[in-house]
Amino acid sequence: MKKISVLFVCLGNICRSPAAEAIFINLLERKGLKDGFIVDSAGTGSWHIGKKADSRMRLAAERRDLNILSRARQITKEDFKEFNYIIAMDDSNFRNIQDLKSRTASTDFASIKKIQDFRSVFNEQEVPDPYFGGDEGFDYVLDILEDSVKGFLESIF
């Protein structure tokens, strides 16, 4: 059976998308589904390539028994062929992903979605970027993502 591949995308790949990746992996592990998936995250920007996730996000995630292990990378044209789903954290990154896809040949494979299309509890249309805010913003983003990522997984099955 072919694995389902999911790429979560935000701006710098150090806050929202690595958190979504960790939450999704955690859900898959709890449901015994991890072996059927390939999960990654990326940013539309290149500022943080190779860096660990923001320390404030890693700390907030650790308090929930989530490990954010990924290193930042930028989305590439190859990702459109490699992933079944590319999931944007907000409208701006969704547009950036669509723009990159439109400039890429043979991009019929990936389905591009917004994570908040799968929310059930929170009203936010976008996942806010906690980078320039206080520590409580990271917890709030995790709350939002736990809801939406769970809804996304449910939509697959």
Respond yes or no: is residue 79 known to be catalytic: no
Candidates 15, 16, 90, 139; catalytic one: 16
Half-sphere exposure in the Cβ direction for 94 (13 Å, CA)? 15
- Domains, the chain, with CATH or none: 4-156 (3.40.50.2300)
Identity of residue 73: R
Q: Is the pLDDT of residue 1 over 80?
A: no
Residue 10 is among the residues annotated as catalytic for this protein: yes
Average pLDDT of the residues in 43-52: 96
Instruction: Check 40, 90, 129, 147 and give the catalytic one.
Output: 129
| Rounded Cα–Cα distance for residues 55 and 53 (Å) | 6
Radius of gyration of the chain (CA): 14
The pLDDT tens digits for 69-93 are 999 999 999 999 999 999 999 999 9
Q: Which one from 10, 54, 56, 90 is the annotated catalytic residue? A: 10
Give yes or no: 16 in active site.
yes
Residue 55's contacts (CB-CB under 8 Å, 6 or more residues apart) are: none
